[in-house]
Structure 1
Amino acid sequence: MASLAFRRSCAWALTLTFHQRASFLETKVTASRFAACRLKSSVLYLTRQDLPKLAYQKLKGKSPGVIFLPGYASDMNAQKALALEEFCKSLGHSFVRFDYTGCGSSEGNIKDGTIGKWKKDVLSVLDNVSEGPQILVGSSMGGWLMLLAAIARPEKIAALVGVAPAADHFVTLFNQLPLEEKRAVEEKGEWKMPSRYNEEGFYSIPYSLIKEAENHCLLNSPIPITSPVRLIHGMKDEDVPWHVSMQIADSVLSTDVDIILRKHGLHRMSEKDDIKLLVYTIDDLIDKLTTLG
């Protein structure tokens, strides 16, 4: 843990390192916020027996590939996903972005979704769409799913990059409610979870999703992941506290773990410098993995 403690103490300095290293990437990433939208890759569908079809877009290229895992109720057209696609295209590396069941262009209803079902979606993409070792990039809930997927398919994982990773999030928030509110949610079968990202000011979360999510909690025991892990978190994140990244780092068995804190970063980490940092982090990982390979 000494190495991790040192990295934590250096978290403030990492931003300076990032600005020095990322200068050659700045033009690409700045442009990607607009140019990526002009990519003419068509939506494909993964057909699965007895399961909803998954919409995805794939860019063929070298290994390691990159797969983007969106957050709750988000989709594969998120700003970070488009920026990463443009970046991977510039490097000639493969890239996959997709929609979970009930989200975006995929089949199904989001209210029928669970952490277990969305984990199966990630595994379906790993098994049937991607080729070779992959860097999973998980945003918010996608960060939780990337950990679950890495445990289930360790042989397919080259590295993990979590952006405000929301491990155990629904369960943690629900358990913080007063007892009478918990009982009301259980009786109604639905929880109106406050959110600034929905026009109504909340997401309607089925109580069944919360109960099912309890089967996938990770933070109370060692997490059997040994691949490199990078965790990027904003210290102004009011949705998923940055301490969650600390908990993940403490729990994973990997000794190659970096935590990068953005002092003024918000939950979505979608500002220009946030995306530059994400691209730099993945570029650095690709260099490291390619050298080791």
Structure 2
Amino acid sequence: MLPSQSYSNISLFQPPAFLMVGIPELEAIHGWISIPFSAMYTAALTGNCLILLAVRRTPSLHQPMYYFLSMLALTDVGLTLSTLPTTLALLWFDHRLIGFNACLVQMFFLHSFSVVESSVLLAMSFDRFVAISNPLRYAAVLTNNVIIRIGLAIVTRASVSLFPVPFLLKRLNFCPGKIPLSHSFCFHADVMKRACADITVNILYGLYVVLSTVGIDSLLIGLSYTLILRTVMHLASPRERIRALNTCVSHTLAVMIFYIPVIGVSMIHHFGRHLPAIVHTLVAYVYLVVPPVLNPIIYSVKSKPIREAMLRMLMRQG
């Protein structure tokens, strides 16, 4: 490979397509691996769509808490659909090529939905804080107009933050030939490292996006739970304390299954370069596939109104 300085005299090269590797060292059994992946994608889409329909068709669920849950479910549907086409095409049909521009589009939506999910989890923590600290003004604070504005702000924030990323990649020079990717989808850190050029700007902007979105969100979520715990400790009755904390269990689990894999992906990309390729791949799949599968299960198990609404809807269909 030539030094990055020498590429200033070479015309810009963008590959017509990237070559997706899939799950390294397990290529021979991709057909079998497609079975659990298909099951997880089906569970994610079915569970989240059921939550959306249950909230829409049940007037008693037209409350701020369930509106935010609908945002989370809609985000999980988008995150699932971002990786489903290329992953299943590779596992089912061994279709490994993805066009350069298609790769950038997939990457934009994949990371945008990740930022949206982080922001929705922050909004849900604010919802729990208001509900516990000031229940009498809960409906007055979180009106429908406020919730709509929060939703628009979340989408705008993610779109504006991620919009420059594809263009920063298009300015890079890539090495000629079929360039392999480490996953069955386009991940920013993965695509960026395939360039035969100086990627300092891309690294710094990627770090800025992570810190200004997921980083800040995680800190604010931690702050909100600190305030929630302080409020709960001032409640007179132990039963009231348990009941208040119980309303946060579902959200706490959702935060954990999202942020723990996010931290794992970040740590591996920065410090785990010598780990086997399959470790990078599996952690990325956990980050992108597992939360959309588990969130509907968590909320249907822990939230009695959601569970009953979903059961009524399924019984009507039957």
If you compute each CA radius of gyration, which structure gives the higher value, 1 or 2?
2
TM-score, structure 1 normalization: 0.29
- Larger relative contact order (C-alpha < 8 A, sep ≥ 6)? 2
Q: TM-score by structure 2 length? A: 0.28
